[in-house]
Structure 1
Amino acid sequence: MASDVCLELVVVRHGLTQWNLDKRYQGQRDIELLMPDALADMDRLRLELEGERFDAVVSSDLTRCRQTLAHIAEGRGWPEPRLDERLRENDFGEFEGRNWEELEDDPVYRAWIDSAGELAPPGGESAQDLRDRLALALGAIFDAAVEAGHRRVLVVTHGGVIRELRREFEGVPFWEGVVGQAAGRRWTLIRQAEGITCTSSSAVPRQASVSG
């Protein structure tokens, strides 16, 4: 398999949901966007990407990501998206649907927090589980780039995914890697035989604030 390829990867988080407002762990629950509240952030992202062209578009298959992509892509003539369940949020297991106030006295939850996600929640995924499937998802994106000559790819995914990728590509600590709704990162990535390296990174939108 040919491996040497350079990609500009724009990776953005879905828009606002009710569970974001409630600060509940959504994980892989299929939650819809909170409308019309989600529109302001998504409109800002849509404006940021105005005039951009992508060789491929890939999205988590969960509804909140598909809705976000439909909004920012409308009328843009971008390629038909490929849905990849490996780009889903971390599976938080028994923590899903609950928030800090409901979990703070649970010693298992405290251990998970103290591990910066390295431990698996009961019935959920560890950080290594997430890294393993993200490696497969990225591998598929790069393989398609080699085959079809892609150079710029848009990915719509989840906050935990972006946080983990920032930890890998930017060396950002786990708790500092969060991005806001309908915001993300623009990376220049090079895949060589020894692995993927990041040569540049910037915020999307450029003045994106962290919220929710």
Structure 2
Amino acid sequence: MRGRKIVLWRHGQTSWNLERRFQGTTDIPLTTEGLNQARRAARLLAALRPDAILASDLTRARATAAELAALTGLEVRHDEGLRETYAGRWQGLTHEEIVERYGEQYAAWKRGEPVRRGGGELESEVADRAAPVVERSADKLPDGGTLVVVSHGGTIRTTIGRLIGLAPASWEALGGLSNCSWSVLGESLRGWRLLEHNAGSLPEPVLGDDD
């Protein structure tokens, strides 16, 4: 058994997170506090001695990953497959506006039904593009190696669900990640298993796209 680990790390705070405004693929930068969160978390994650860093190409993930790269000396590889869920007409709307304008669609999504939120991607389609990117990078790790993946709340949730073999209707059971928190998958004889979830920040509230 190779004993590899995958750390899935959500980006730091943005102004749209604070406003509970759905970002999706909109490229929103970190706030000053978001940058501070990334620096604090990076010090903890650097202690894990990661072997590789993989990140979404959106600015908020790039800036978060850069803090860990500065401490470890590792080069960050960026991949657009790790972007947040494209949510069409939902993007830019607050949580309250989404519930008001798209209440039936929102309720169906929360029930675990396959929904193209705002006419965008299905959660299974997000997993289809993101999970293979993570798996290919993990396959390159040495025995006992650690990969840090810097991505987004919804994308991390669907990737975890896919890698540990949960049915898409059950992915909602994985709670959201707070800004700059992370989840850890470990390799076992039966595949990947969830070792930690939303680590690093509790009891911080979950603010963001896919809570």
CA distance in 1, matches of 2:37, 2:171: 25
2:75 equivalent in structure 1: 80
State the Cα distance separating 1:107 from its structure 2 match. Answer: 4.5
- CA 1:129–1:73 in 2, change beyond 3 Å: closer, same or farther? same
- Residues 1-212 of structure 1: matches in 2 within 5 Å? 5-34=2-31, 36-77=32-73, 79-105=74-100, 106-116=102-112, 118-145=114-141, 151-168=145-162, 169=164, 174=172, 176-190=174-188, 196-198=191-193, 200-201=195-196, 203-205=198-200, 207=202, 209-212=204-207
Residue 103 of structure 1 aligns with an amino acid whose one-letter code is I
- CA 1:126–1:191 in 2, change beyond 3 Å: closer, same or farther? farther
- CA 1:203–1:18 in 2, change beyond 3 Å: closer, same or farther? closer
**How many residues are aligned here?**
202
Structure 2, unmatched stretches of 5+, are none
State the Cα distance separating 1:190 from its structure 2 match. Answer: 4.3
- CA 1:142–1:40 in 2, change beyond 3 Å: closer, same or farther? closer
CA distance in 1, matches of 2:114, 2:59: 27
CA distance in 1, matches of 2:181, 2:165: 16
Q: Is the 8 A contact 2:131 2:159 kept in 1?
A: no
* DSSP 3-state at the match of 1:31: coil
CA displacement, residues 103-147 of structure 1 (integer Å, 9 cap, x when unaligned) = 2233453354344362112431111111211232123213323xx
- CA 1:40–1:82 in 2, change beyond 3 Å: closer, same or farther? closer
Residue 71 of structure 1 aligns with an amino acid whose one-letter code is E
**% of aligned pairs identical?**
28
Compare the two structures and name the one with the higher helix fraction.
Answer: 2
State the Cα distance separating 1:49 from its structure 2 match. Answer: 2.0
Structure 1, unmatched stretches of 5+, are none
CA distance in 2, matches of 1:64, 1:164: 19
CA distance in 2, matches of 1:149, 1:97: 42
Residue 63 of structure 1 aligns with an amino acid whose one-letter code is T
State which drifts further: 82-91 or 174-183.
174-183
With structure 1 as the length reference, what TM-score do the two structures score? 0.81
- CA 1:199–1:107 in 2, change beyond 3 Å: closer, same or farther? closer
CA distance in 2, matches of 1:43, 1:137: 25
RMSD: 2.7
Q: Is the 8 A contact 1:185 1:202 kept in 2?
A: yes
* DSSP 3-state at the match of 2:140: helix
- CA 1:164–1:101 in 2, change beyond 3 Å: closer, same or farther? same
Residue 141 of structure 1 aligns with an amino acid whose one-letter code is S
CA distance in 1, matches of 2:96, 2:173: 18
State which drifts further: 202-211 or 49-58.
202-211
